């Protein structure tokens, strides 16, 4: 008699830390590179095709061209599909999906808008490899690219709108558990 039970879907849950480098020269001049931290889940949908969802947090600080202190908070939310190339002890993958981000900027200068916030969106591409540490634990080594265009708002006596570019590369590692 043949066993007709389906194999359960694999779920990968991980914490990730990376170094973010903006492709925007103005952002790099002010904030340099900064840390980006995420939690991510990958859920098997069919054979080696997985969907993923990721929630992150990035904080950067620096000085403007006039020497005034500024800092930025970014909360990205992304989701998409990954294709896994399963090998014996490691699993390279590639993925793509949309990304949404909320950003808050505090400027120390009295000559520019002190508080700005806004939402933006774009897409994210992912390349990496899961390396098995045990049957359940894995290490994720990755490089991601995010293309994000922002729309910042400031409300006071007048409402101002301007665009921003939060695109860039992140390089890092994650530690995960396979369910």
Q: What is the pTM of this model?
A: 0.87
Q: Is 6 part of a structural domain of the chain?
A: no
Six-digit token string for 154: 């400031």
pLDDT of residue 61: 94
Six-digit token string for 58: 């990035």
pLDDT of residue 108: 77
- For residue 112, give the DSSP letter: S
User: In this structure, what CATH number is given to the domain that contains residue 84?
Assistant: 2.40.160.20
pLDDT of residue 156: 55
Question: Cα dist. 33→48, 56, 61, 91, 144 in Å?
Answer: 34, 16, 10, 28, 14
- Rounded to an integer, what distance in angstroms lies between the CA atom of residue 104 and that of residue 96? 26
pLDDT of residue 160: 52
Q: Is 105 part of a structural domain of the chain?
A: yes
Q: Is 1 part of a structural domain of the chain?
A: no
Q: How many folded domains does the chain comprise?
A: 1
Strand, coil or helix: what is 128?
strand
pLDDT of residue 67: 78
pLDDT of residue 114: 76
Per-10-residue mean pLDDT, the chain, length 179: 73 99 93 96 98 98 84 97 93 98 85 81 98 96 97 59 85 98
- Rounded to an integer, what distance in angstroms lies between the CA atom of residue 144 and that of residue 87? 21
pLDDT of residue 25: 93
pLDDT of residue 161: 53
pLDDT of residue 63: 87
Q: Is 41 part of a structural domain of the chain?
A: yes
pLDDT of residue 164: 83
Question: Of 170, 120, 119, nearest to 149 (Cα)?
Answer: 120
pLDDT of residue 6: 78
Q: Which domain holds residue 122?
A: 11-178
């Amino acid at each position: 008699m043949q066993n007709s039970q389906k194999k359960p879907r694999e779920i990968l849950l991980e914490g990730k830390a990376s170094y973010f480098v903006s492709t925007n020269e103005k952002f790099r001049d002010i904030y340099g590179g900064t840390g980006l931290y995420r939690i991510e889940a990958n859920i098997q949908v069919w054979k080696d095709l997985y969907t993923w969802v990721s929630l992150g947090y990035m904080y950067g600080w620096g000085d403007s061209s006039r020497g005034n202190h500024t800092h930025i908070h970014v909360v990205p939310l992304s989701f998409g599909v990954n294709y896994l190339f399963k090998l014996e002890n490691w699993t390279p993958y590639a993925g793509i999906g949309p990304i949404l981000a909320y950003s808050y900027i505090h400027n120390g200068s009295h000559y520019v808008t002190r508080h700005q916030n806004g939402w933006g969106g774009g897409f994210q591409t992912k390349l990496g490899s899961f390396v098995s540490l045990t049957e359940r634990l894995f290490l994720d080594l990755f490089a991601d690219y995010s293309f994000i265009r922002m729309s910042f708002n400031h409300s006071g006596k007048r409402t101002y709108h301007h665009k921003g570019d939060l695109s860039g590369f992140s390089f890092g590692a994650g530690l995960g558990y396979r369910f």
